[in-house]
Amino acid sequence: MMKRIVVWLIETCLEVLLLGVVLTLLLGHDRNSFIKDVFIYSSGIGLLFFSTGYLLTTIILRAMWRTPKPWLYAAAATALFFIHFEIMNVAARGAFEPPARFRIRVAGACIVFACTFVGSMALRRNSTMNAELHSRF
Per-residue pLDDT of the chain (137 residues; tens, 9 = 90+): 788 889 889 999 999 999 999 989 988 777 788 899 999 999 988 988 898 889 999 989 888 877 778 889 999 999 999 999 888 877 777 666 777 788 888 999 999 999 999 998 888 876 555 555 455 55
* Cα 123 to Cα 67: distance, rounded to the nearest angstrom: 11
* Cα 73 to Cα 19: distance, rounded to the nearest angstrom: 19
* Cα 101 to Cα 121: distance, rounded to the nearest angstrom: 30
Q: Is 58 in contact with 77 (CB distance < 8 Å)?
A: yes
Q: What is the DSSP letter of 92?
A: T
Per-residue pLDDT at 102: 86
Q: Is 41 in contact with 20 (CB distance < 8 Å)?
A: yes
Per-residue pLDDT at 9: 92
